[in-house]
Structure 1
């Protein structure tokens, strides 16, 4: 698993104004353009579920004092994505709020590709998980839950494990 982060200066542009309404509805931080001098590390993913690998990568930036903007792709629930986008956002917010991390969570439309301009001041980073975390497969986590095997518990933070179980029990999606 690799997550890509981009430190960006958030500015009020026409393109960003599309996401502002969703941001204000979904996030504690309100309008992301209210502090245009603040730089964020951006993380984009499905987070099905949000696990220790995601947390480890995001914490690398938070521990450097860089706030994180976690963008959750708005995708329909299915066997590979058993959690609704709203449930995913709730789990991510719950974890980071409990630790008082400087994190904003935002729902974005599903994406076809990630494109960026060369030489425009963005730092593109690819992080490998630390050795003590290793590669974590969300597919294997979902399969472990389906098989009623508790191995998944070491891969998902205990603060959101009850939510993971509850959402899966409430779901009509067959894993």
Structure 2
């Protein structure tokens, strides 16, 4: 039987605790999650140093339990420039506001620290 999923779109460059928090928040609300990873490395490698396969590996390692329980799935999507929908499309648009300690996590800062370490 097919399930409905909550869609979570991102570059995940790199995947970090803030992303994991958001996925687990959706799961804790009884949702299955489809993590849609933008395959954008080749378009903007300076801002997106990780390939789709590297991002997939990191998410799979960090979210192994949720994947094993079939609470989430991961898929690749092309680089997108907007998300569009028509009227009364039959699904909700939901913003998840993380706690302060999670909100302060910055992928940009993480990438800079990784580059400094070599």
Instruction: Name the TM-score, length of structure 2 as normaliser.
Output: 0.86
Whether 1:138 aligns to 2:107 is yes
CA contact (8 A) 1:42 1:70 kept: yes
Q: What displacement does 1:98 show?
A: 3.7
Whether 1:96 aligns to 2:63 is yes
Task: Encode CA deviations 1:9-37: one digit per residue, 9 max, x unaligned.
Answer: xxxxxxxxxxxxxxxxxxxxxxxxx61xx
Q: What displacement does 1:63 show?
A: 1.0
Whether 1:111 aligns to 2:80 is yes
**SS at 1:147 equivalent:** helix
Task: Give the structure 2 partner of residue 54 of structure 1.
Answer: 19
Q: What displacement does 1:146 show?
A: 2.0
Task: Give the structure 2 partner of residue 147 of structure 1.
Answer: 116
Instruction: Name the TM-score, length of structure 1 as normaliser.
Output: 0.60
Task: Encode CA deviations 1:34-77: one digit per residue, 9 max, x unaligned.
Answer: 61xx1111001100000111111111111122110000011134
User: How many Å separate the matches in 1 of 2:25 and 2:86?
Assistant: 24
Calculate the aligned-residue CA RMSD, in Å.
Answer: 1.7
Unmatched segments (≥5 aa) in structure 2: none
Task: Encode CA deviations 1:102-128: one digit per residue, 9 max, x unaligned.
Answer: 110000111121001222211101122
